[in-house]
Amino acid sequence: QVTLKESGPALVKPTQTLTLTCTFSGFSLNTNGMRMSWIRQPPGKALEWLARIDWDDDKFYSTSLKTRVTVSKDTSRNQVVLTMTNMDPVDTATYFCARMPMAIAGAIDYWGQGTLVTVSS
Amino acid sequence: DIQMTQSPSALSASVGDRVTITCRASQSVSNWLAWYQRKPGKAPKLLLYMASNLQSGVPSRFIGSGFGTEFTLTISSLQPDDFATYYCQQYSSHPYSFGQGTKLEI
């Protein structure tokens, strides 16, 4: 059974750095072709893709956020970590981690439940 | 970056109706396109990938088509459980991008 769960602070102050952890089970990020992404959704707005990390440690980032976002993995702990610097109230959103297996050509088949992060002083 | 535009942004329909949602890409994404269903408080659910491939467990009333820059999601006969927001996503090239969503209301 595949599960993903995001964890991290629910509230951060402007200018602070956000660190979110995705802990997953039921698959391995060591598997050839496996990828994982972070996506967010501000309240009342559309989904926004943030970053991707692959089984071979390749990484890809949103153009608008690439100077602020870093993604990393710890395969021994089945975790993927998203770091976003210089947080702003516009970054208030529900943040999701998600799995992208090559078996379905890289679409997202499993999502975490999401974690709401509010940026406010 | 590739921009994805969905239309309409909102749609009112009734149980049993046939509805179609359109997704247009600002440049060709070949058939690297997925459709997701999002309900309040729940994670998005994959409906179709590679534009027309039905994800396992998804009812056959969800039909995807298109190639290049224009795609459609058709629900052949709306069921009560289908009222939700639908998103398209291109994964042809980075950065990946989503459409702005289509809210399907009763």
- Look at residue A106 and tell me whether its pLDDT is greater than 90: no
Q: How far apart are CA B30 and CA B70, in angstroms?
A: 10
Closest chain A residue to B51, measured at CA: A107
Residue B81 makes CB contacts below 8 A (sequence gap 6+) with: none
Per-residue pLDDT averaged across B5-18, rounded?
96
| B43–A60 CB contact, under 8 Å | no
- Look at residue B25 and tell me whether its pLDDT is greater than 80: yes
Q: How far apart are CA A91 and CA B22, in angstroms?
A: 28
> Do β-strands B45-49 and B33-38 pair in parallel, antiparallel, or remain unpaired?
antiparallel
CB < 8 Å to B102, chain A: none
Q: Which residues of B touch A (CB under 8 A)?
A: 1, 32, 34, 36, 38, 43-44, 46, 49-50, 53, 55, 87, 89, 91, 94-101
State percent of chain A over pLDDT 70.
100
pLDDT one-digit tens code per residue, A51-98: 999 999 999 999 999 999 999 999 999 999 999 999 999 999 999 999
- Please report, for residues A8, A88, B13, B76, the alpha-carbon distance to residue B20 in angstroms, rounded to integers and kept in the order given: 38, 37, 11, 8
Q: Which two tokens stand for residue A99?
A: 């799995």
- Look at residue B64 and tell me whether its pLDDT is greater than 90: yes
